[in-house]
Amino acid sequence: MRKAGGQLATAQERLGSGKRINSASDDAAGLQIATRLKTQSSGMAVAMRNLQNSISMLQTADALLGEMNNMLGRMSDLAIQAADGASTLADRKAMHAEYATLSEQVYDTMQESRYAGTYLFRYVVAPPGPDGPGTFGLGPVTFQTGSSAEESVTVDFRNDLGQINVALYYAIDNGNLHNHPQDAPDTDLTSAESANLMVDRLAEAQQSITKLRSGLGALGNRFESAFSNLGQMKLNTDAAAGQIADADFATEVADMTRSQMLTQAGSAMLKQASGMSRMVISLVE
């Protein structure tokens, strides 16, 4: 009867908590394995959030670079138009005014764009700080893509950013660029010769930006795959931990019912035995 009572209490505890293992004494080995699996699953959940944040940052960077390319494309159209002999000096000055305005915006996008309060593309030789290099301009960037120290990806886009800065130095008409005292010569559309020169320079700038976009896109695709893989691994890990630690309600209900019946039957037999003892004593008396 004591054994049946203990089994009843265990079944009720498991049904109440939903867990098969409520203390180390229930299953010491199972508790260790389940704890390890839960820790791994928790790390995967954090890694998935990391990947989502990284993908969002890469998508933001790609969108900004895409807009820069659009502006450079418009500037290229202006350069081609200004290089035409049919354009007058007044026409070229009007084109150059738009060209200079777009140059300012390209410069601002390159140097001032931020993600989560941190510069993205700023590429300067300066110590880290509010006015220092951006995320991709500071140096190698490490992304945590899994739940272990070995599951990480390190990339370095400084060379690509350096090429973009040099190309823009020769392609846009802005007051100055970081690390350069002033624009390269002939960065204007006021003459057919300089306008014709800008066509190739702008094409080179667009090509350098496209190269960086390709790298960001490839990295984003890798992170998308890693996110999908982590989702499947976490699902399977949670299922494995549940098989070990979670209670089987059908089994526990059956065990509780059996223990209740045994307890009730034992109580009835004890009561009957006690009544027979009193009857025998009364007969003897």
Asked whether residue 230 is assigned to any structural domain, the reply reads: yes
Can you give the pLDDT at residue 220? 94
- Residue 47 pLDDT > 80: yes
Can you give the pLDDT at residue 238? 81
Asked whether residue 58 is assigned to any structural domain, the reply reads: yes
Asked whether residue 199 is assigned to any structural domain, the reply reads: yes
Asked whether residue 269 is assigned to any structural domain, the reply reads: no
Asked whether residue 224 is assigned to any structural domain, the reply reads: yes
Asked whether residue 4 is assigned to any structural domain, the reply reads: no
- Residue 230 pLDDT > 70: yes
51, 143, 220, 225 from 234: Cα distances, Å: 14, 19, 21, 14
CATH number for 74: 1.20.1330.10
Q: Is 152 helix (H, G, I), strand (E, B) or coil?
A: strand
Range of the domain at 123: 46-244
Domain tally for the chain? 1
Residue with tokens 């992304």: 143
* Residue percentage of the chain with pLDDT more than 90: 29
Quick: pLDDT tens for 64-115. 999 999 999 999 999 999 999 898 989 988 998 898 889 889 988 988 888 9
Asked whether residue 274 is assigned to any structural domain, the reply reads: no
CB atoms closer than 10 angstroms to residue 112: 12
Token output for 105: 């915006």
Asked whether residue 169 is assigned to any structural domain, the reply reads: yes
Residue 123 in contact with residue 133, Cβ under 8 Å?
yes
Confidence of residue 177 (pLDDT cuts 50, 70, 90): very low
Mean pLDDT of 212-221: 94
Average pLDDT of every residue of the chain: 78
Q: What one-character DSSP code corresponds to residue 129?
A: S
* Residue percentage of the chain with pLDDT more than 70: 68
